[in-house]
Amino acid sequence: MPLSVLEEVRDELVCYPGAGASIMEISHRDKRFVDLLHEAQATLRQLLGISDDYEVLFLQGGAALQFSMIPANLLRGTGKTAQYLLTGSWGKKAIKEAKKEGDALSIYDAGETNYDRLPAAGDYQVADDAAYLYYCSNETIQGVQFTDEPACPDSVPLVSDASSDFLCRPLDISKYGLLYACAQKNAGPAGVTVAIVRKDLLQRSPADLPGYLNYNNHAEADSEWNTPPTFAIYVLGKIAKWLRDDIGGLDAMLQQNQQKSQTLYQVIDQSNGFYRGHAQTEARSLMNVTFNLPNDDLQASFIAEAAKHDLAALKGHRSVGGIRASIYNAMPVEGVNTLASFMKDFAKANG
């Protein structure tokens, strides 16, 4: 989280200005909270240029509930097939849930190379009548990120799990049928998930879905079908404003993210093979830099030594091993520079 936002939240925690109470103590129906919710939606619309053709919903259940809500609303009962591009662990989890709701088919799976790449042109074919094409724009565990939206026929809604790269760069939302992201990487605390849904797709939702699972209920009730995660929405609104006012918008955020990730990839590429990047060069993520060291002992010693420099949370996920440096929006350039110099020193001493 950006330090300035944390400090603002700290200052307002006990008494939200004008409310005489904490934001956590006022009702979600209170005008002051409803105004905050609307402001958060409006700032997201402004940052991403989201048109009135889309709903901006604040939901609960994390990104994981979207693995089920998407097929429940957009696939169930259509007689169509949902098609999935699998470029990492989160896409795999998503299709597993989708199969419980209907016919979900993987049309590209990079599992053979342990999800180190993206599909090249011609690697997959989307059926013109597919219910939707699903992909994960940034596979957090493998550190594999799409630079552009994957090719998809106009007749097929594109659905994206943008949980770990939401707000890291500008996007053309008009290319999507639905884009969602849990907040806890770039957009706020855990507890709220943003779903940007093209309004015409809402007609697909079967009427007999459990109430919470039906997007229409959230759209009609303006994300207050039940008590929304008020504190998380309040912080998300502040982060959206930080991006707009302090960073200068998503183009500026992208520039910073490119600079930060390049700094680390350069160290990897100039290490004479001491560090080996997991993702292929064209698939490298701006958010999660994944790499391996020559052996497990060196990896353990890298993590232990890094901790002495206050560099934490570097252990890679067990499915990939090695190191994962997550450098989300809020990670300052100086933090990345510290890691880069540590990596150079460590390679010099141990290479």
- Annotated active-site residue 30? The verdict is no
Q: Which of 92, 116, 185, 238 is catalytic?
A: 185
Residues 232 and 251 sit within 8 Å (Cβ to Cβ) = no
Question: What does 252-314 look like in DSSP terms, one character per residue?
Answer: HHHHHHHHHHHHHHHHHHTSTTSSEESS-GGGB-SSEEEEE-SSHHHHHHHHHHHHHTT----
Task: Compute how many residues bind ligand PLP; rule: CB under 6 A.
Answer: 10
- Annotated active-site residue 185? The verdict is yes
Q: Any contact of residue 329 with ligand PLP (CB under 6 A)?
A: no
Q: How far is the CB of 180 from ligand PLP (least distance, A)?
A: 9
Residues 218 and 57 sit within 8 Å (Cβ to Cβ) = yes
Q: Any contact of residue 90 with ligand PLP (CB under 6 A)?
A: yes
How many CB atoms are closer than 10 A to CB 251? Answer: 10
Residue nearest to ligand PLP (CB): 62
Q: How far is the CB of 227 from ligand PLP (least distance, A)?
A: 19
Residues 142 and 117 sit within 8 Å (Cβ to Cβ) = no
Beta bridge partners of 133: 83, 158
Question: 142 vs 214, which CB is nearer to ligand PLP?
Answer: 142
How far is C-alpha 247 from the chain's CA centre?
19
- Annotated active-site residue 242? The verdict is no
Show contacts with ligand PLP in window 172-201 (CB under 6 A).
182
Q: Which two tokens stand for residue 155?
A: 């007749």
Question: 101 vs 161, which CB is nearer to ligand PLP?
Answer: 161
Name which of 158, 182, 159 is nearest 58 in CA terms.
182
Biggest alpha carbon distance in the chain?
64
Q: Which of 90, 165, 242, 260 is catalytic?
A: 90
Q: Any contact of residue 9 with ligand PLP (CB under 6 A)?
A: no
Question: 182 vs 243, which CB is nearer to ligand PLP?
Answer: 182
Question: 55 vs 139, which CB is nearer to ligand PLP?
Answer: 139
Q: How far is the CB of 62 from ligand PLP (least distance, A)?
A: 3
End-to-end CA distance of the chain, in Å?
Answer: 35
User: Which residue in 41, 140, 142, 285 binds ligand PLP (CB under 6 A)?
Assistant: 140
Percent helix, percent strand, percent coil in the chain, to nearest 5: 40, 15, 45
Residues 288 and 126 sit within 8 Å (Cβ to Cβ) = no
Question: 90 vs 342, which CB is nearer to ligand PLP?
Answer: 90
CA-based torsion, 79, 80, 85, 90: positive or negative: negative
Q: How far is the CB of 288 from ligand PLP (least distance, A)?
A: 9
Question: 87 vs 271, which CB is nearer to ligand PLP?
Answer: 87
Binding mask 41-80 for ligand PLP (x = CB under 6 A): ---------------------xxx----------------
Q: Which of 161, 165, 242, 260 is catalytic?
A: 161
Residues 262 and 298 sit within 8 Å (Cβ to Cβ) = no
How distant, in Å, are the alpha carbons of 7, 23, 37, 318, 332 from that of 11? 6, 12, 20, 39, 22
User: Which residue in 87, 163, 256, 261 binds ligand PLP (CB under 6 A)?
Assistant: 163
Q: What is the spatial distance between Cα 56 and Cα 41, in angstroms, rounded to a whole number?
A: 6
Which chain residues interact with ligand PLP by CB under 6 A?
62-64, 90, 136, 140, 161, 163-164, 182
Which are the catalytic amino acids? 90, 161, 185
